[in-house]
């Protein structure tokens, strides 16, 4: 096995030295600093906030950002970092996805100079945390139906609404809030402590337990004009941020799948039943081969997508296909690995059930399988099939 883990098709050879170094740095950090406590974080339902400064020191915050202290890495190096983080836990990768793709990216892409100066250096250093409020109780897959409003009132806006399932919500110093205005859906920066704005943890989750998920309440929240992200021009601006996050998820799920496959392969070689290792049976080998084949296909999809992205040729539907395929295949791989581990697979002594439960969320957020299928279907046929007339 290469130093970067499962690599059946020698993808290592397609990486630059900088890309390998970025991956290896994150891999070593995850192994030393996160994996020893991964099961506890999951069991206790705690996101390890004490690791945020270390992640900032590793250059993981603002990893693709040029200027403002960002690392200015390319898309493949960023993807490999996501892979290694999610090899640790989807909650760890989610934190980095939200910070980079859904907070730093929208401020860098759509913010005023004042907003960039105020927030980007602090976000890159991990001194400020952000969240992204798009989903609502009545608007999940269909964010265009959101009900949160931002109404102009002379010197600024008044925002009213509810946001649901928001990663980092309770941790965030600044929330990127999407709301309906007289000029369509636009993004706003709402700061913690603004009267009428509150975050409430969502408890009793069985998935993504090592991640903070919150409901946000906005009751007559008054913000100045300067809180509007001036470059946002409709739902499309929010969807452009999702492309960045979905890209990271496509890579991240490969990391979770690799962890599950490697645990299953190890177990298959050592667990003896009927006088032989279970890995000597055709049925178990069939499962392992299927897992490895899907990991290899996902790795190739990611690598090609990353190169296309850096050449400015990646289309939203390319990203949809990678997110859709890799998260659903990773979930299937985790379930197969859990099966190979037998009863021992149901405890946190192995990472597999943790990944399996996490991947249920990863398969749902940032667009479900159905939504990405419909997005690609619309692209190839020219026919939208998102709604049916009743
Ligand atoms: P639709 O008419 O299709 O689109 C409106 C405008 O946006 C354009 N567009 C996109 N542009 C860039 N990237 C994309 N991916 C785009 N998808 C669409 C589109 O061309 C159009 O442009 P224009 O110029 O004509 O105005 O809008 P629709 O209302 O029909 O909805 C489309 C749909 C269903 C694909 C979209 O709403 C969708 O993606 N739904 C899924 C919702 C979702 O993914 N939510 C994620 C919330 S954030 C989250 O989950 C964070 S998890 C934490 C973590 O990442 O770890
Ligand atoms: P629904 O949209 O109600 O979908 C339910 C089912 O119906 C799904 O199977 C779906 O595929 C199917 N369906 C819906 N429409 C169609 C259709 N047209 N055709 C066929 N089938 C369809 N959101 C944020 O804004 N910010 C965050 O930080 C964030 N973090 C999250 C963290 C976690 C742990 C979770 C679980 C979610 C998070 N989300 C976040 C929300 C996430 O993006 C939504 O859950 C997701 O978009 C799906 O919306 P929904 O849950 O309302 O499901």
CATH code, domain carrying 199? 2.40.110.10
Q: Is residue 72 part of a domain?
A: yes
Read off the CATH number of the domain in which 361 is found. Answer: 1.20.140.10
Domain closes at, from 95, 124, 153: 124
Q: Is residue 388 part of a domain?
A: no
Q: Do residues 259 and 228 both lie within one domain?
A: no
**Cβ atoms within 10 A of the Cβ of 7, count?**
17
Query: Which residue from 140, 142, 209, 327 has its CB within 8 A of the most atoms of ligand 2, so it is best to mutate?
Result: 140
Domain closes at, from 234, 263, 289: 234
- Which residue has the least CA distance to atom 39 on ligand 2? 165
- Which residue has the least CA distance to atom 46 on ligand 1? 366
pLDDT score at 281: 98
Atom of ligand 1 nearest to the CA of 135: 47
- pLDDT digits 0-9 by tens, 139-182: 999 999 999 999 999 899 999 999 999 999 999 999 999 999 99
Atom of ligand 1 nearest to the CA of 236: 7
pTM for this entry? 0.98
Domain closes at, from 183, 211, 234: 234
How much distance in Å is there from the Cα of 142 to the middle of ligand 2?
8
- In sequence order, the 6+-apart residues with CB closer than 8 A to the CB of 264 are 287, 288, 291, 336, 337, 340, 341, 352
How much distance in Å is there from the Cα of 84 to the middle of ligand 2?
25
Q: Ligand 2 pocket: which residues have CB below 6 Å?
A: 98, 132-135, 140-141, 165-167, 208, 213, 361, 364-366, 368, 370-371, 374, 386-387
Q: Do residues 99 and 153 both lie within one domain?
A: no
Is 13 a known active-site residue?
no
Q: Do residues 62 and 165 both lie within one domain?
A: no
Read off the CATH number of the domain in which 87 is found. Answer: 1.10.540.10
DSSP string computed for 41-73:
HHHHT---GGGHHHHHHTT-TTTT--STT----
The count of domains in the chain is 3
Q: Do residues 229 and 242 both lie within one domain?
A: no
- Which residue has the least CA distance to atom 29 on ligand 2? 166
332 burial (CB, 10 Å; 0-12 / 13-18 / 19+) is middle
Q: Do residues 142 and 179 both lie within one domain?
A: yes
Q: Do residues 289 and 366 both lie within one domain?
A: yes
- pLDDT digits 0-9 by tens, 207-235: 999 999 999 999 999 999 999 999 999 99
pLDDT score at 6: 96
Percent share of the chain, pLDDT over 90: 98
How much distance in Å is there from the Cα of 282 to the middle of ligand 1?
44
Q: Do residues 30 and 153 both lie within one domain?
A: no
- Which residue has the least CA distance to atom 12 on ligand 2? 370
Q: Is residue 331 part of a domain?
A: yes
Q: Do residues 153 and 227 both lie within one domain?
A: yes
Q: Do residues 118 and 142 both lie within one domain?
A: no
Q: Is residue 183 part of a domain?
A: yes
How much distance in Å is there from the Cα of 32 to the middle of ligand 2?
34
Q: Do residues 141 and 92 both lie within one domain?
A: no
- Which residue has the least CA distance to atom 47 on ligand 1? 366
pLDDT at 48 over 60: yes
pLDDT at 390 over 90: no
**Which is nearest to 379 in space by CA: 306, 303, 320?**
320
Q: Do residues 283 and 357 both lie within one domain?
A: yes
Parent domain of 310: 236-381
pLDDT score at 2: 57
Q: Is residue 195 part of a domain?
A: yes
pLDDT at 1 over 60: no
Q: Do residues 334 and 267 both lie within one domain?
A: yes
CA distances from 132 to 98, 163, 254 (A): 7, 9, 24
């Amino acid at each position: 096995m290469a130093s970067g883990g499962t690599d059946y098709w020698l993808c290592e050879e397609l990486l630059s030295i900088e890309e390998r170094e970025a991956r290896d740095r994150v891999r070593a950090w995850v192994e030393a600093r996160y994996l020893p406590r991964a099961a506890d974080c999951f069991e206790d339902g705690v996101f390890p906030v004490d690791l945020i400064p270390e992640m900032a020191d590793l250059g993981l915050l603002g990893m693709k950002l040029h200027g403002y202290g960002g690392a200015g890495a390319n898309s493949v190096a960023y993807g490999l970092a996501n892979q290694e983080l999610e090899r640790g836990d989807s909650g760890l990768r989610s934190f980095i996805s939200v910070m980079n793709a859904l907070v730093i990216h929208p401020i860098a892409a759509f913010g005023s100079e004042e907003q960039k100066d105020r927030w980007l250096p602090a976000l890159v250093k991990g001194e400020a945390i952000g969240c992204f409020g798009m989903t609502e109780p009545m608007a999940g897959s269909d964010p265009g139906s959101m009900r949160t409003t931002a109404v102009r009132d002379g010197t600024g806006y008044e925002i009213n609404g509810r946001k649901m399932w928001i990663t980092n919500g309770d941790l965030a110093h600044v929330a990127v809030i999407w709301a309906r205005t007289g000029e369509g859906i636009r993004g706003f920066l709402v700061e913690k402590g603004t009267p009428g704005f509150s975050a409430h943890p969502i408890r009793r989750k069985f998935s993504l337990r090592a991640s903070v998920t919150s409901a946000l309440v906005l009751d007559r929240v008054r913000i100045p004009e300067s809180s509007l992200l001036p470059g946002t021009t409709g739902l499309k601006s929010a969807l452009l941020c999702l492309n960045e996050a979905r890209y990271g998820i496509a890579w991240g799920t490969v990391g979770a799948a690799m962890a599950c496959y490697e645990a299953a392969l190890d177990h298959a070689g050592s667990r003896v039943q009927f006088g032989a290792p279970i890995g000597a049976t055709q049925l178990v080998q069939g499962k392992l081969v299927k897992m490895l084949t899907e990991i290899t296909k996902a790795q190739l999809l990611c690598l090609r997508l990353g190169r296309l992205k850096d050449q400015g040729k990646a289309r939203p539907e390319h990203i949809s296909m990678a997110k859709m395929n890799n998260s659903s295949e990773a979930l299937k791989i985790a379930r197969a690995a859990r099966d190979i581990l037998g009863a021992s697979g149901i405890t946190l002594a192995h990472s597999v059930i943790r990944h399996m439960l996490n991947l249920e969320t990863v398969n749902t957020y940032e667009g479900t399988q159905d939504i990405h299928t419909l997005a690609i279907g619309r692209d190839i046929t020219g026919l939208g099939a998102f709604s049916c007339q009743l």
